A and B are shown apart, each in its own frame.
Chain A
Amino acid sequence: MINPHKIQAKVSKVLDHGDGVYTVSFEVNQKYLRFKAGQFLHLTLDSFDPTNGYWPESRVFSICSPPKVGPITIVYSVKGIYTKRMEQELSLGKHVWLKFPYGEFIIDSMVEPQDHVVLIAGGTGISPFIPFIQSLDDSSQYSSVSLFYGIRNRVVQLFESELVQARTGCKIFRPWIFNQQEENGSYPIPHVKGMLSIDGVRTRLDSGRFVQSKFFLSGPPVMIQYFKEDLAKQGIENNNIFIDSWE
């Protein structure tokens, strides 16, 4: 784990996707952009005095911008009191304290060249996958990288341009989007109607590839638990299933 550090950052962009989902970017001094794709940060809305090391209440968010280049970006969904506060308080120019990096959900440290990589994301759970996906290009050594991304509807679909760009720039990358409300083949990445499910994943991978793949799960705890159990039932070994276990 890279040494975590606490820094003050300024909100430089807020994107309201609707349905209580936001993307927020923070200006951060370049020298502090030290993290790995898949790691997360703590954000606090309260004041923090570095000369008095008590860290205030904070929440964790996956970093969805690539390492080493600013700004640093997160996505959040309004679900409770703290995220409601974020919705009210995170406006352009607001100063907040961040501490990062944390977490071991670092895909490229857990896979080998030639592996089949399967990313399964629910809602904002796609965030930790984005820096990894953005790092893919035609020189990537993996046999394949498949993304299965479940969303409630088109409004809350995140990172469309990043996914399109990755698909264009990397032949081994294949994204599927499962939309609970509609099927639409005309979107830049076609939407399949239905809930994201293990059957939906299995039927889109040939059987050989399915059992050989390494699976990365990110999303709500219920979703992660469901996929973990179902993958095990399908004969996938536990050491080939990786979860974003930090809340």
Chain B
Amino acid sequence: MANTNKTEEQLRDQIRGLVKEYYDVKFAPKDFEPGSTPVRYAGRVFNEHEIQNAVDASLDFWLTEGRFAEEFQMEFADYVGVDNALLTVSGSAANLLAFAALTSPLLGENRLKPGDEIISVAAGFPTTVNPIIQYNMVPVFVDVEIGTYNVMVDQIKEAISPKTKGIFLAHTLGNPYDLDAIMELVKKHNLWLIEDCCDALGTTYKGKHVGTFGHVGTCSFYPAHHITIGEGGMVFTDDPIIARAVRTFRDWGRDCYCMGGENNTCGKRYTGQYGDLPLGYDHKYVYSHVGYNLKVTDIQAAIGAAQIKKLPEFVEARKQNFRTYEKYFKELEEYFILPYATPNSDPSWFAYPVTVKDNAPFSRTELTNYLATNHVETRNLFAGNMLKQPAYLHIEKRVYGTLENTEKIMNDTFFLGTYPGLDEPRIAYTMQMIREYVDSRVQK
């Protein structure tokens, strides 16, 4: 028997209050001390609401997808403007599921099959390309532009062959590719388009959210991204068949629609005929796809339900930080190629990428080492040229052209963070360090 006269709701309120108190103590803001406080390139931005939600979900102890997953998925779908949003364990898993869904027999003869060619780029993150390889298809690599760091659409046009069945590309660091031109190719050649928006949540092209132009979009909630649930991702689409395939691949490959705690949602649990199974075999254990288990916990989803409410302000902060860097870097344009937004777009910048020019009296690595020594974090543009990475040296592939810009990015590009945890003093300090380093090398 419970040793309290409080109700469950009263206890929850009390715990929420304690969580707020704890948050105020544990995460109290600290003054920025230039030279000793690290300037991170990314990080979690949160307050007591995320922790309260996580604790609330823990108190439910439902654990697997539940009320918070339902809420988060719906809010996300509303935000980007699609019918279906499906949570998964990471952005990479979202990419895997989106790609796997396009191999589903539910899509008939138009589905992706082993041997098909899929166009992508080597200057990016590996898990945009990995599903192509994992599903025994052939990635076709084309080059990117320096400045937008996005695919060169003319090269896609030239690289398309009769075997080409899809395009799988990330909107690099929040900056979208030329979606008008790519959608024209998609329609003309009857291609599938997967938009990897892991770094681009909140970005719009002609006023519409990226990820909603192609057949399916993906997003990441790793702590470096626009919103976080720790480890997590989302697949989103307006296509009900793709959504069904994604759900099935995510949930063990099972045919059943039921979520945890539900039974017989379809009303045909014991009356259907599937494969060579006996008539009426329990639909809960009917597997129509060779799937995975890539579902999140409701505790993670609870954090997402709080984070997504802050997304509009996060996006604005990222844009503002980008503008602040832009103002400083204009004075250094002699040595750096500066980023620019794709025409017709409004990027929700993941980062501020720059490329060291050939005439600069320093290298990218020298500069980023100097910044690291002075507690300023930077990152390279992910894998650089993926084809130079050990795991990709011997994959089956087709390369269009020389990938010379990809090569330059591997050698000379890095990015600074734009995340909402940054502010003017941190950016000013970062730029002071860059300015000092550049000046010191120019004087030599």
Contact = CB atoms under 8 A, between A and B. Distances in A.
Interface of A: 1-6, 31, 34, 36, 42, 50-55, 60, 102, 104, 106, 109, 245-247
A53 B86 contact: no
15 contacts: A1-B84, A1-B240, A1-B247, A2-B84, A2-B243, A4-B259, A6-B70, A31-B78, A34-B74, A53-B259, A102-B265, A102-B266, A104-B244, A109-B240, A246-B268
A2 B83 contact: yes
B62 A52 contact: yes
B267 A53 contact: no
The DSSP consensus for interface residues of chain A is: loop
Interface residues of B, number: 28
A60 B262 CA distance: 13
A130 to B, nearest CB: 20
A15 B441 CA distance: 83
Contacts of B315: none
Interface string B263-300: 10111100000000000000000000000000000000
Nearest to B86: A3
B427 interface: no
A246 B83 contact: no
A146 B104 CA distance: 34
* Residue with the greatest number of chain A CB neighbours at <10 A, chosen from B84, B240, B257: B240
Given A3-B70, A3-B86, A5-B74, A55 B247 contact: no
Contacts of B267: 60, 246-247
A98 to B, nearest CB: 13
A52 B70 contact: no
Contacts of A42: 265
Given A102-B257, A245-B268, A53 B84 contact: no
B83 A34 contact: yes
A2 B240 contact: yes
Contact of A246 (B59, B67, B266): B266
A52 B57 CA distance: 10
A32 B145 CA distance: 43
Interface in B160-187: none
A50 B268 CA distance: 25
B369 to A, nearest CB: 47
Contact of A53 (B59, B62, B257): B62
Nearest to B238: A2
Contacts of B59: 51
A177 B57 CA distance: 52
B73 A104 contact: no
A142 to B, nearest CB: 20
Nearest to B236: A3
A67 B240 CA distance: 16
Given A55-B262, A104-B240, A109-B240, A1 B257 contact: yes
Contacts of A36: 83, 240
B52 to A, nearest CB: 14
B260 interface: yes
A39 to B, nearest CB: 10
A223 to B, nearest CB: 17
